[in-house]
Amino acid sequence: MEALIGTFQVGMSILFQPLNFVIMVLGILWGIIFGAIPGLTATMGVALAIPITYSLRPETALILLSSIFVGAISGGFVSAGLINMPGTPSSIATTFDAYPMSKRGETARAFALSLASSFLGGIVAVFLMIIATYGLVQIALKFGPFEYFALGLLAFAGCMGMMEGGLIKNAVGIIIGLLLASIGADMLTGVGRLTFGIPDLIAGIDILPLLVGMFGISEVLVAIEQRTQNVVPLEARKTKMGIKVFMDAVKTILFEQPINFIRSMLIGFIIGVFPAVGGATSCVVSYGFAKSSSKHPEKFGTGIPDGIIASEVANNATVPGALVPLLSLGIPGDATTAMMIGGFMIHGLFPGPLLFRDTPELVYTIFAAQFVGTIVMVIMGILLMGFFIKVLSIKSYYLFPIITICMVIGAYGLYSRVLDIWLMLVSGVMGYLFRKINLPIVPIITAFVLGPIIERGLRQGLAYSGGSMMPLFTRPICVILLIGAVFLFLLGMYVNTRVAAKLQPGKAQEQ
């Protein structure tokens, strides 16, 4: 308990510096807007902000990125309830009941339930995040070369088993990521690899243009192709959020549905901890459990509070959960945390156990930003709901040219290299094509980030052991990680099957 209090004291002292607090508020606002407008998503919001963070201090940069993450996941319920389109994939199950409730003229209640669920699920999960992160990092500090190699296998097993798209496509994504990570000078010999005679590639591919292209540019291309349009009903534009309706929603969650709340929060947090899963899976799984355990399952999809609570509590609990493997092990928990790694790396920081050892104040600041940011998100939701609804009315195709220009400027501004613009554009086209063939992008980024780490671990481990792989099967932590990799792979296959089964009825209801 003393360590927890000390953590918050250090983090709060940094967070409440005037500039940092203003940045956090702006990040929450930025995130809610990106979460509310279909086609923008939390990942794009973070991608667009990463170049901006280059001119900020590391703690301020991480406050901005984590605040955008919190705001965007929460903001997804606005479009989910108003126009039956999830602003982010994490809100897909929210549409099942929030939109029918809104169609009945209870838009304010649907928003209040979503906002209260987002707040309660996120605030409790922050404390679980701190406890879980401290526990994992104590183990990670004992890692040697073979442990890092086994950790990479664990992450790859999670990607292959849990990501949508199928086993083969996920494996192909990992191979592509490893090939991209291999471009440049060999880390031990300095020999160029896969440079194709291009001198600028000897330094390798920087993560920023790759991330912005794969996630940001490809997202814009997909949204343009789908011609996303936002049509907010006229009567819904007058919706206002008051303290009374919000407190009624809090009472409903805590006193009428405590079991649904606790179950959904745990499901969201645990799924968030698993590498490469994310809120889209957690909200659907939580919704499925709520429906299967309800005394009135036939009411789900008709505008029942149970479904909104299950979805929004789970997807907001996933945010702190996804930060656990990022901060403690250096493994991205989902697409957005994969983007956040770019924010760490452009400041010369590498998330993982060494971050706790060398710059613990940065970790404490992220903890504080998650806690306070969730509170600020609720205040904004109550006071500015009318503004967010008006923002949702903006046609998306007006925003995409501005967003694209900002991403191009950000990619060029980091190192002032035209090559980075080309890398971003090529990555964007690749990301778009991968989406067309349903090839997940997260395994590519995960392999790109972890590729150098596991390569170094394997080569150093083999040097220490005289070329023997036996330490991988005799060192206790390695064995645990390998067993965890098998478990995560099998669990992922099972969860994907459950999600597919639960999602089909939901899609039918939408139509």
The string of DSSP codes covering 140-157 is: HTT--HHHHHHHHHHHHH
Question: What confidence score (pLDDT) does residue 134 get?
Answer: 83
Confidence (pLDDT) at 507: 42
Tokens of 40: 């923008």
- The reported pLDDT for the residue numbered 15 is 92
Q: Residue 185 forms beta bridges with which residues?
A: 192
pLDDT score, position 22: 94
Q: Which domain holds residue 137?
A: 2-510
Among candidate residues 441, 495, 126, 116, the one with its CA nearest the CA of residue 284: 495
**Alpha carbon of 409 to those of 44, 173, 412: distances in Å?**
15, 28, 5
Query: What is the pLDDT, as a whole number, of residue 1?
Result: 54
- Count of domains in the chain? 1
Long-range contacts of 97-101 (CB under 8 A, 24+ apart): 97/300, 97/301, 97/302, 97/303, 97/304, 97/305, 97/306, 97/307, 97/308, 97/311, 98/303, 98/308, 99/303, 100/301, 100/302, 100/303, 101/303, 101/304, 101/305, 101/308
Check: pTM over 0.85? Answer yes or no. no
Residue 216 DSSP code:
I
**Who's near 197: CB < 8 A, 6+ residues apart?**
none
Nearest to 412 by CA among 215, 213, 190: 213
Q: Are 449 and 341 in contact (CB under 8 A)?
A: yes
Q: Which residues of the chain have pLDDT under 50?
A: 505-511
